[in-house]
Amino acid sequence: MTTGTIPLPGLIEEAQTTEENFLRQIFVRDQMAEWSKQPIVMARADGVYYWDVTGKRYLDAISGIYVVSVGHNNRRIIEAIKKQLDVLTFSPPMHGTNPQAVQLANLLAELAPGDLSTVKFQCGGAEVVEAAIKLARQYHKLTGSPGKYKIISRYQSWHGSTLGALSASGLKSRKTVNEPMAPGFIHVFPPTCYRCPFGKTYPDCGITCATIVEDVIAMEDPSTVAAILVEPIGHTGGVIDPPEEYLPILREICDRQNILLIFDEIITGIGRTGRMFAAETFGVTPDVLLTAKGLSGGYAPLSAMICRRPIALAFWGPIATNPGFVEGHTFEGNPISCAAGLAVLREILERDLLANAREQGARLRGGFEALKRKYPFIGDVRGKGLFQAIEFVADRSTKARLPDPMAFGIQVGRRALAHGLLCRFDPHWIAFGPPLVVTAEEVDSMVAILDRSLGEIWDQIGRAASSASSQS
């Protein structure tokens, strides 16, 4: 047998990574033909800044996508990962776990509210959404309610791209192309107070968006409903920040009906609302809390499902009758990811980045409110901590939307990108979610670039379209 090296295919130069013929070899999240006209290929990052391969600098007002909680190029996290690389990079998942995973699970149990205490680690958000759906179904089977399998979630929500998480999600733009969805998923209207789906006005609405969930359960048959899955503050749909009564009402319904309440805190967790978890911000403890994105700060893939002690206990029975929690992936509890997670949480706690999130969140809110005073096409400003959004309207009094084809928010977002600002944009809203380490000056710079972009796009296309729509 002859031995020898296999010739490696030549690698393209970094400078070529923006050329269309090379970009055609990769699927990205954006619509590719559109994206490839002005592709963004990030080369490096530091603090709250990115630089793309052309050398252009961007202020990161969205933490990548609500991920980079402790900023880019954070030395504490990098050193922790380097140290871990020399010790253990993978532990056999079919045979146990590793010290970093056990330590992180215990730290999360310490930090999570109430008796949320037993943790399942995975790599991404959708994976822990799947885990929570399975946990709810298996829990009811183990505790004498085997008929409970339905999951109630909300229209306009986003829980991830895997088919279970996608079935729970409520975004038609991402679902229709993949239909049919899995059976057993029921959707209710979200608490979009600014545009109440029931035509009511807070606080005289009786919080119908929450109370009606019990009617839906009655119609479905309570003995078939396993869990209610909600983001405490919805993201897609334009940062849906519920009235304070909403989550406590869902909690009461779940308690009455033996239904598990699952909070998808994949965005809101790890300090984004100014507390470690939005569960604390709203004073409601779910049965299962899901966190991801900011947990490892983007330094390694990591997510966690944290469940309450009585639920975990149901999985602790004798092997003859209890198979344990039947859920797993190869990379769960990876020691590198868990080392990153431990370092991120230490960084947040030691630097009190939760206080910074509250302080800079208030400053960001002030900035957005000032923009609302300046521009008549801003109808609403909402969100909590470092998770805030602006909704655009053609007319504040009627809340009429700007015409869809105008895609005002998209135009503003693209102009902001041209001016070196990354934010989340949609035709009718824009959101910011900067890293928890953001400073006052950086918040002001982010708002200033948005201000400039709003003004330019309004002068270019907004004024004319708005007057045309109010005359029609």
Ligand X SMILES: Cc1ncc(COP(=O)(O)O)c(C=O)c1O
* Residue 89 C-beta: closest distance to ligand X, Å: 21
Q: Of the candidates 196, 187, 185, 188, which has an alpha carbon nearest to the alpha carbon of residue 212?
A: 188
The residue ranges that bind ligand X (CB under 6 A) are 124-126, 129, 158-160, 231, 235, 264, 266-267, 292
* Residue 234 C-beta: closest distance to ligand X, Å: 8
Give the Cα separation of 240 and 251 in Å (integer). 18
Which lies closer to ligand X via its Cβ, residue 65 or residue 88?
A: 65
Which lies closer to ligand X via its Cβ, residue 236 or residue 466?
A: 236
Which lies closer to ligand X via its Cβ, residue 187 or residue 452?
A: 187
* Residue 275 C-beta: closest distance to ligand X, Å: 17
Which lies closer to ligand X via its Cβ, residue 124 or residue 271?
A: 124
Give the Cα separation of 466 and 456 in Å (integer). 15
Residue 429 β-bridge partners: 391
* Residue 422 C-beta: closest distance to ligand X, Å: 15
Other C-beta atoms closer than 10 Å to the C-beta of 329 total: 16
Strand 116-122 vs strand 303-308: parallel, antiparallel, or unpaired? antiparallel
Which lies closer to ligand X via its Cβ, residue 266 or residue 446?
A: 266
What is the number of the residue whose Cβ is closest to ligand X? 125
* Residue 464 C-beta: closest distance to ligand X, Å: 35
Which lies closer to ligand X via its Cβ, residue 153 or residue 356?
A: 153
Which lies closer to ligand X via its Cβ, residue 126 or residue 457?
A: 126
Mapping DSSP to helix (H, G, I), strand (E, B) and coil, where does residue 15 land? helix
Which lies closer to ligand X via its Cβ, residue 292 or residue 343?
A: 292
**Angle at alpha carbon of residue 147, lines to 308 and 172, rounded to 5°:** 80
Q: Where are the beta strands (DSSP E) in 158-277?
A: 185-188, 225-230, 260-264
**C-alpha dihedral, 116 to 120 to 121 to 126, nearest 10°:** -90
* Residue 272 C-beta: closest distance to ligand X, Å: 11
Give the Cα separation of 79 and 92 in Å (integer). 24
Q: Of the candidates 307, 313, 358, 304, which has an alpha carbon nearest to the alpha carbon of residue 334?
A: 304
* Residue 124 C-beta: closest distance to ligand X, Å: 3
Which lies closer to ligand X via its Cβ, residue 29 or residue 75?
A: 29
Q: Of the candidates 168, 134, 166, 167, which has an alpha carbon nearest to the alpha carbon of residue 148?
A: 134
Give the Cα separation of 64 and 76 in Å (integer). 19
Give the Cα separation of 316 and 324 in Å (integer). 7
Distance of CA 326 to the CA centre of its chain: 25
Tell the residue number behind the tokens 């290929």, with chain if given. 41
* Residue 380 C-beta: closest distance to ligand X, Å: 20
Which lies closer to ligand X via its Cβ, residue 71 or residue 160?
A: 160
CB environment 158-183: b (16+ within 10 A), e (fewer): bbbeeebbbbbbbeeeeeeeeeeeee
Which lies closer to ligand X via its Cβ, residue 80 or residue 165?
A: 165
* Residue 236 C-beta: closest distance to ligand X, Å: 7
User: If you ran DSSP here, which 8-state letter would residue 182 be given?
Assistant: P
What order of strands is seen across the sheet that includes strand 303-308?
A: 116-122, 303-308, 288-291, 260-264, 225-230, 150-154, 185-188
* Residue 278 C-beta: closest distance to ligand X, Å: 11
Which lies closer to ligand X via its Cβ, residue 254 or residue 292?
A: 292
Beta carbons within 8 Å of 400's beta carbon, 6+ residues apart: 393, 394, 469, 470
* Residue 290 C-beta: closest distance to ligand X, Å: 7
DSSP secondary structure, 309-363, as one string: HHHHHTT-S-TTT--------TTTT-HHHHHHHHHHHHHHHHTTHHHHHHHHHHH
Q: Of the candidates 81, 73, 70, which has an alpha carbon nearest to the alpha carbon of residue 45?
A: 73
* Residue 15 C-beta: closest distance to ligand X, Å: 30
